[in-house]
Amino acid sequence: MVVAFDKCETRPASIDAILEGLDRYNPETTTVFQDYVAQQCEDRTFDCYANLALLKLYQFNPHLIHPETVTNVLVKALTVFPSPAFSLCLALLPPHTQPFPANAEAQASSQISDFVESVQKLARLSTLLESAQYAQFWSTLNSDDLYADLVADVAGFEELVRIRIAVEVGKAFRQISAEVLEQWLDLRSREALEKFVVEVCSWEIEKNGPNGTVIKVPTNKENEVRSEVKSERVDIDMFGRVLRRGFEQAA
Of 240 and 7, more confident:
7
Q: Provide the 3-class DSSP secondary structure of residue 160.
A: helix
Alpha helix segments (H runs only) across 44-144: 48-60, 67-78, 85-91, 104-110, 114-130, 134-141
pTM > 0.85: no
Give 1's pLDDT tier (boundaries 50, 70, 90): very low
Task: Quick: pLDDT tens for 88-143.
Answer: 999 999 888 887 655 555 555 445 588 999 999 999 999 999 999 999 999 999 99
Residue 35 has what pLDDT?
97
How far apart, in whole angstroms, are the C-alpha atoms of residue 216 and residue 206? 7
* Among 129-138, 188-197, 205-214, the least confident range: 205-214
- Mean pLDDT value across residues 137-162: 95
Residue 74 has what pLDDT?
97
- Mean pLDDT value across residues 63-73: 96
How far apart, in whole angstroms, are the C-alpha atoms of residue 73 and residue 192? 29
Residue 44 has what pLDDT?
94
Query: What angle (nearest 5°) sits at the alpha carbon of residue 124, between those of residues 119 and 129?
Result: 125
Q: Is the model's pLDDT at 11 over the cut of 70?
A: yes
Of 190 and 247, more confident:
190
Give 2's pLDDT tier (boundaries 50, 70, 90): very low
Q: What is the DSSP letter of 174?
A: S
Average pLDDT, the chain: 87
Give 229's pLDDT tier (boundaries 50, 70, 90): low
- Whether the CB-CB separation of 102 and 58 falls below 8 Å is answered with no
Task: Quick: pLDDT tens for 12-39.
Answer: 999 999 999 998 999 999 999 999 999 9
Residue 219 has what pLDDT?
83
Closest by Cα among 10, 21, 69, 15 to 43: 10
> What pairs with residue 206 in β-bridges?
214
How far apart, in whole angstroms, are the C-alpha atoms of residue 129 and residue 116? 20
How far apart, in whole angstroms, are the C-alpha atoms of residue 155 and residue 140? 19
Phi, psi of 135 (to 5 degrees): -60, -40
